[in-house]
Amino acid sequence: MIRVSVSRVFVLLAVLGLVACEKASEPVETVEEATVDVVAQLNALYHEFDEESLALHPVMATFRGDHRFNDQWFPHDPLSDEHTAADYELHKRYLARLLEYDPAMLGGQDRLNYDIFQFDRQNAIEREEQGYNQYENLTPVSQFFSFPNFLVMMGSGATGQPFETPQHYDDWIKRSSGFAEHADLSITRMREGVEVGVVQPRVLMEKTLPQLSAQVVENAQDSDFWGPVTRMPESFSEEDRARITAAYEDHIMNLLVPSYAKLHDYIQEEYMQHTRATVGQADSPGGTDYYAFKVRETTTTDYTPEEIHEIGKREAERIYAEMERVRDEVGFEGTMDEFFVHLREDPQYHFETEEEILAAYDELRNTIDPKLDKLFGVKAKAPYVIKAVEPFRAQSMAAAQYFPGTPDGSRPGIFYVNTYDLPARPKWFMESLSIHEANPGHHFQISISQEVEELPAFRAFGGYTVYNEGWGLYSESLGKEMGLYTDPLQYFGSLFGDIWRANRLVVDTGMHALGWTRQEAIDYMVANSPITDTDVVAEVERYIAIPSQALAYKIGQLKIRELRNRAEEALGDQFDVRAFHDLVLTSGALPLFVLEAEVDRWIVRQKG
């Protein structure tokens, strides 16, 4: 039921010819004016939701460049029942308000706003009502992503949290004080998980322990959290310097170190004996239903794990055949396995120092960016920087990672390059990796969505893994069109990236739904690509730690490519690839079914 005033009902009836106006001289609102009013009300609703959401998730605000909450952890810790209840109530309340409006009155981006906001709220409500939030809370710590690692990234000054003024330094002490409660709640939740049999695989906890112990130091100066103190701006007064230095030493040694030590010791001395040797979600109580939900949530499709498994195998076979063609093109005389060994082990493809690999990616940026005009009309304004992954998490990290900057560019995006085990970071993989993480991949796409002023905040800063990662992988396929991959081995590197993502469909579903072991997943990855032992282990254990996330890349890429092919076929000579890319990028991250409908409407408009 749409919420309208009595006067608006009168206007709509008049337009339909059901009510006669007594005085033609009196102003009468049109349907368009009524729609404008509804749009304004909905935009206000979206803004109100965003404000309440930021208050519940203050760390998210900081990452967006909103500094109102820099000193806050959470009103209630993310693992608490109070936080879960507040989140659930927020989504239910705003969905009810949204459904008071009739979406038939909306068009264009206004209709997209409505559909996406409804989809997001319904998904969040399903998560809570089906118990999936509580299920996840029982395993709050892993080697790949969890608050203990995230806190170090923020507190070391690597990303997100600003350290530019004395107030910023004070804010961080206040915010990170919340970690003491979080460590205690993590232990509580893991104990609850032990009671019901929902526990982490042992292999993940074995990798987590060194990450936690790295933060248990004898001297504050040896802590990653000491970084901001060593980089204190010269503009600070001597009084502030002395005060901040003393405060950080006390905070690190008397709150952060004990919290990390408590978490570490609980896992090592108690939790480890309850961890499981298996790795799949299907091996946990309720895990089969949870994984099926995660597949739907991650891909925004109705694919089953079994269907995705078969898609992955078909894609892997197709890409492997193209890799064989490139092997023959470069004149390598040997089997594919021997070619893989050559690419992994030949020193000519290795970097020797961290400085060398970072400089090479920086130079590559200067090669790629001038080529963007060929395929894109709209381009990202925000800059990005290139950094090495921090040592404390490098061993368990993927080859690269991207962290968004702020919309105003005051904090640039970060393209993280993993420099651990340099032979595992081959030169022939550089072009496709840079395209994926930076321009025109993640940095490009995320920055553009933040810079489109018409998008409400929940779209500009929201996202869907299948869209974001699908765009990143689709971007890799644009290399030849951009004038890159002129070296056959760089093109082979893009095929390596492509089959890597196809393999993910097979091994992620294999482990979590079909009973595969960790070793079976490793063997499959090794047999189908020149991935190094370091990377293959980190990758497989990543899929174990964050089930379904790895499905997003290939499923999203296939849909974007399918939609482009559809548009090219329908429009023929009228097809403009720059206009197609601009449409996809300036709409922000969308569920795939919404993106498909938007592209179909665009095709109709282009036909005139």
Rounded Cα–Cα distance for residues 393 and 414 (Å): 16
Are 511 and 532 contained in the same domain? yes
Say if CB 391 and CB 227 are below 8 A apart: no
3-state SS class at 11: helix
- Which residue, among 159, 187, 150, has the nearest Cα to 397 in the 3D structure? 150
Assigned domain for 196 exists: yes
Q: Residue for token digits 């990672």?
A: 401
Q: Tell me if 311 is assigned to some domain.
A: yes
In a domain, 84, yes or no: yes
According to DSSP, the residues that pair with 413 across neighbouring strands are: 384
pLDDT, position 20: 30
**Pair 316, 506: CB distance under 8 Å:** yes
Handedness of CA 128, 130, 131, 133 (dihedral sign): negative
149 with 171, same domain?
yes
Residue 204 lies in a domain: yes
Q: Is residue 536 located within the same domain as residue 477?
A: yes
**Judgement on whether residues 249 and 308 belong to the same structural domain of the protein:** no
CA distances from 118 to 288, 309, 591 (A): 26, 30, 12
Contact 492, 320 (CB under 8 A): no
Residue 202 lies in a domain: yes
Positions of the chain with pLDDT lower than 50, given as ranges:
1-31
| CA-based R_g, the chain, Å | 26
Contact 393, 208 (CB under 8 A): no
Q: What are 149's two structure tokens? A: 């690692």
Check residue 76 and give left, alpha or beta (phi > 0: left; psi -120 to 50: alpha).
Answer: beta
Dump strand ranges (E) for 443-563: none
Contacts of 24-30 spanning 24+ positions with Cβ under 8 A: none
**Inside any domain, residue 218:** yes
Q: What's the rounded Cα separation, in Å, for the pair 61 and 72? A: 10
- H-run or E-run covering 596: helix 592-607
Residue 293: how many other CB atoms lie within 10 Å: 17
SS3 (DSSP) at 72: coil
Single out the residue of 136, 141, 469, 186 nearest to residue 291, CA to CA: 136
pTM over 0.85: yes
Count other C-beta atoms under 10 Å from residue 35's C-beta: 14
Residues 342, 462, single domain; the answer is yes
- Specify whether the CB–CB gap between 55 and 75 falls below 8 A: yes
Number of Cα atoms under 13 Å in the Cβ half of residue 164: 8
Cβ 274 vs Cβ 199: under 8 Å? yes
Contact 279, 291 (CB under 8 A): no
| Alpha carbons 45 and 117: distance in angstroms, whole number | 10
127 and 200 part of one domain: no
The HSE-up count of residue 154 (CA atoms within 13 Å, CB side) is 23
What letter represents residue 363's amino acid?
E
Neighbour-count burial for 230-263, b at 16+ CB within 10 Å, e otherwise? eebeeeeeeebbeebbeebbebbeebbbebbbbb
> What letter does residue 407 receive in the DSSP assignment?
T
64 inside domain: no
Of the residues 115, 133, 151, the one at which a domain ends: 133
99 and 175 assigned to the same domain: no
Shared domain check, 311 and 235: no
Which burial class, exposed, middle or buried, applies to 464 when counting CB atoms under 10 A from its CB (0-12, 13-18, 19+)? buried
Spatial separation of the C-alpha atoms in residues 146 and 134, rounded to whole Å? 15
Q: Judge if 213 and 251 occupy the same domain.
A: yes
| Domain assignment present for 531 | yes
Spatial separation of the C-alpha atoms in residues 461 and 406, rounded to whole Å? 10
**Is residue 212 a contact partner of residue 263, using CB atoms and an 8 Å limit?**
yes
Buried b (16+ CB within 10 A) or exposed e, 497-518: bbbbbbbbbbbbbbbbbeebeb
Query: Chain centroid to CA 543: how far?
Result: 14
Give the structural domain span for 254: 140-277
Distance CA 485, CA 560 (A): 21
Number of CB atoms found within 10 A of residue 5's CB:
10
Q: Give CA–CA dist 416/437, Å, rounded.
A: 8
d(C-alpha 495, C-alpha 603), whole Å: 30
Contact residues for 372 (Cβ-Cβ < 8 A; gap 6+): 379, 439, 440, 444, 482
314 shares a domain with 198? no
Locate 352 and state its tokens: 């020797």
- By DSSP bridging, strand 400-403 and strand 384-388 are unpaired
pLDDT at 535: 82
Query: Taking phi first (over 0 means left), then psi (-120 to 50 degrees means alpha), and beta for anything else, what does residue 5 get?
Result: beta
The residue out of 221, 244, 277 marking a domain boundary is 277
Residue 197 shares a structural domain with residue 226 = yes
Q: For 433-476, how does the pLDDT look when each residue is reduced to its tens digit (9 = 90+)?
A: 999 999 999 999 999 998 988 889 999 888 899 999 999 999 99
In a shared domain, residues 219 and 337 = no
Q: Look at residues 216, 250, 277 and tell me which one is the last residue of a structural domain.
A: 277
- Based on the structure, what is the number of domains in the chain? 3
